[in-house]
Amino acid sequence: MNTPPHPISPNATIALAIHGGAGNITPSNLPPNQEQAYRDALTQVLETGHALLCQGGHSLDVVEAAVRLLEDSPLFNAGKGACFTYEGRNELDASIMDGHTLQAGAVAGVTTIRNPISAARAVMERSPYVLLIGTGAESFAADQGLEIVEPEYFYTRRQYERWEKSHQAREESASLNGEKFGTVGAVALDSYGDLAAATSTGGMMNKRYGRVGDSPIIGAGTYANNATCAVSATGHGEHFLCNVVAYDIAALMEYKGLSVQDAAEEVVMHKLAQRRGEGGVIAIGKNGQVAMPFSSVGMYRGSITADGQMSVHMFK
Amino acid sequence: MNTPPHPISPNATIALAIHGGAGNITPSNLPPNQEQAYRDALTQVLETGHALLCQGGHSLDVVEAAVRLLEDSPLFNAGKGACFTYEGRNELDASIMDGHTLQAGAVAGVTTIRNPISAARAVMERSPYVLLIGTGAESFAADQGLEIVEPEYFYTRRQYERWEKSHQAREESASLNGEKFGTVGAVALDSYGDLAAATSTGGMMNKRYGRVGDSPIIGAGTYANNATCAVSATGHGEHFLCNVVAYDIAALMEYKGLSVQDAAEEVVMHKLAQRRGEGGVIAIGKNGQVAMPFSSVGMYRGSITADGQMSVHMFK
């Protein structure tokens, strides 16, 4: 966020898309006041990110800022509001990628970093590494001066009650109403033609044994390359990992000439769906087209396209 | 290793390739007696794996068995013989993928599991997860009855002396003579037409902050798909992660129709090399062709091709 504003070219194409997780999100599962709360939160994040892009902000700053807001909101399963593990903890994962440099950073299994996405960015920019895990990642974040919190900071009554309910039922992976694959993410194209992608999550409720999903994995949950697209995924992480989802969309564009819409649809609605991999992605192509396919019942999502049109949706 | 032997079809194509890491491996860096020790170790692993394939063994069993042998050898940077972290510990990573089911398993940052590759396989076959990290992964392995050892088991004088030397020089990433990107891996095609890949490592010497490279990441260090190829990588992990190396080779075969040789060369010798990503891969295509390109000075490697020819090499 320390990028000085630049004058934007009047012809420059900018675009932004965000998600707040996919799952069994229906009008009957979401009371009207809650629906409005989600709509307001997504709208605020889009407006903030878009204003930055309009001021000549860099896509990397924009996706980090958008994901920080989503992490700070207790409505989403990332940062504050993360789901609970089998042991009743909050273990967070995040990753970020710069489509201009093809550099990336990620953290996994962290419990004390207030904004895991900023730790991921610090890994990318201030270490020779890409992926740091556990207490090592926390030490790095502390050394870098990032905000460290007590693990209790991530507690929300909503997630704790969901955990208690499912934990008592001894489910290893939850399938309650509402968001099932809670993850947040952002993708942006800035006025310099640079793409970036960022993803952050509390992971799968009741996860055990240090389970890590696709969110902190470059190529699976997050990918950005100015030559093709920027992608952030949300879904059943194990399937997204084995199907290398985010990079596969880029590969279909690069090697088969597909549009971002066709590539994202092919991966999410056909390849993944055939393998029972439920979830969705948000993607922006190098020319600014936005695609947001999902195979789950609903996905919290929103975008501001190149023509300035904003849309916020959660149901099919 | 509990697969009963099956009669092999006389026409079935089988193939096996292994690696023991890439780096500055030259005749002048490797005294003749050491060269012979590496040659013997690689030969023994190839013979063991090939015998299993000839008896109708499954590729998944073969790559696990081959990597276990490489992990147990103190010559290679995986399992016993792993390099030391900045703090003087041994933190191990491994992954395995089944090209028939497209299922995978992985562990990262483990310090007490004698054979991380077997833990990766247990994650794949006996958990709903793909990637487990740290103490959680260790608890899972213990619960599954895998062999747990004291962290001191992984100590070798050779690696400790390399660490002391480089640690005193305060290098964050080592660039000593000998293997630089120590990793071991195996890929196999069995008589049923099934491909599998496995990779295991002690990571980068002097790594800090819970650094994890490409070895336990499906799509980066390991990938297998009966439709295309099986790949295990060794190299500067951060570059391999950002370039999604293993899956990229499969994508070039699937989407552009390249042979496994051309796809592996394109990724390792062109795409990665342009981005200063040093290292190599071993790959077997669905028809049994073996490719082992590398951009580093040397790579410990060997294969037994479909015609039964064995080769073991370490230099260019």
Task: Give per-residue pLDDT as tens, B84-99.
Answer: 999 999 999 999 999 9
Which pLDDT tens digit goes with each residue over A241-255?
999 999 999 999 999
User: Which of A:199-238 have CB within 8 Å of B?
Assistant: 207-213, 217-220, 223, 237-238
Q: Give the active site residue among A183, A199, A228, A234.
A: A183
CB contact under 8 A, B211 and A136: yes
CATH number of the structural domain B16-295? 3.60.20.30
Q: Is residue A248 within 8 angstroms of chain B, CB to CB?
A: yes
A281 Cβ contact list (under 8 Å, min separation 6): A19, A231, A232, A233, A234, A235, A245, A246, A249, A264, A267, A268, A291, A292, A293, A294
Whether the CB-CB separation of B84 and B163 falls below 8 Å is answered with: yes
Angle between helices B134-143 and B116-126 (to 10 degrees): 80
B244 chain-A contacts, CB cut-off 8 A: 218-219, 223, 244, 247
pLDDT above 80 for B195: yes
> Any chain A CB within 8 A of the CB of B173?
yes
Chain A CB contacts of B242 below 8 Å: 97, 102-104, 130, 218
Instruction: Enumerate residues 6+ apart whose C-beta is below 8 A from B309.
Output: none
Residue A2: per-residue pLDDT: 47
Question: How far from chain centre, in Å, is Cα B195?
Answer: 15
Would you call B132 an interface residue with chain A, using a CB distance cutoff of 8 Å? yes
pTM for this model (two decimals): 0.95
- Chain A residues in contact with B273 by the CB 8 A cut-off are none
Residue A193: count other Cβ atoms within 10 Å of its Cβ.
16
- Which residues of chain A lie closer than 8 angstroms to B102, CB-CB? 242-243, 275
d(CA A31, CA A23): 16
Are A134 and B137 an interchain contact pair (Cβ–Cβ within 8 Å)?
no
What the block records as the tokens of A224 is 């950005």
Task: Give A266-301 pLDDT, tens digit per residue.
Answer: 999 999 999 999 999 999 999 999 999 999 999 999
Taking CB atoms and an 8 Å limit, are B130 and A238 in contact across chains?
Answer: yes
Specify the residue for token string 């090939």: B50
Give me the mean pLDDT over the B249-270 stretch.
Answer: 98
- Residues of chain A contacting B171 with CB distance shorter than 8 Å: none
Closest CA to B63 of B93, B110, B95: B95
Q: Is 90 exceeded by the pLDDT of residue A9?
A: no
Q: CA nearest B144 in A: which residue?
A: A209
Of the partner residues A132, A212, A241, the one whose CB lies closest to the CB of residue B209: A132
Q: Say yes or no for a CB contact (<8 Å) between B238 and A130.
A: yes
Considering only the beta carbons, identify the residue of A134, A247, A252 that sits closest to B133.
A134
pLDDT at B6 exceeding the cut of 80? no
Is B234 catalytic? The answer is: no
Terminal CA-CA length for chain B: 34
Facing A247 at nearest CB: one of B132, B237, B244: B244
User: Is A244–B241 a contact, with Cβ atoms under 8 angstroms apart?
Assistant: no
Q: Is A57 helix (H, G, I), strand (E, B) or coil?
A: coil
Residue of A nearest to B143 (CA): A209
Q: Mean of the pLDDT values across residues A53-78?
A: 97
ipTM above 0.85, yes or no: yes
| pLDDT: which is higher, A289 or B173 | A289
CA atoms of A176 and A180, how far apart (whole Å): 7
Give A166's pLDDT tier (boundaries 50, 70, 90): confident
A45 burial type by CB count under 10 A (0-12 exposed, 13-18 middle, 19+ buried): buried
| Residue B89: DSSP 8-state | -
**What pLDDT does B167 receive?**
76
Query: Within the 102-131 window of chain A, which residues sit less than 8 Å (CB to CB) from chain B?
Result: 102-104, 108-109, 127-131
pLDDT at A306 over 60: yes
Q: Is the pLDDT score of B272 beyond 80?
A: yes
Contact call for A173 and B128, based on CB within 8 A: yes
Interchain CB distance below 8 Å, A217 and B213: no
Predicted confidence (pLDDT) at residue B39 exceeds the cutoff of 90 = yes
Residue A179 above 70 pLDDT? no
Q: Find, in chain A, the residue whose alpha carbon is nearest to that of B210.
A: A136
Question: Which SS3 state, helix, strand or coil, does residue A220 take?
Answer: coil
Note the Cα A138 to chain centre separation in Å.
20
**Mean of the pLDDT values across residues A11-21?**
93
Q: Which residue of B has its CA nearest to A244?
A: B219
What DSSP assignment string belongs to A227-276?
Answer: TSEEEEEEE-HHHHHHTTHHHHHHHHHHHH---HHHHHHIIIIIIIHHTT
Q: Report how far apart, in Å, the C-alpha atoms of A116 and of each of A69, A299, B44 are.
A: 12, 22, 45
Fill in the DSSP letter of residue A181. Answer: E
How far off is chain A from B150, nearest CA to CA, in Å? 19
Q: Looking at the complex, does the CB of residue A276 fall below 8 Å from at least one CB of chain B?
A: no
Task: Give residue limits of the domains in chain B.
Answer: 16-295
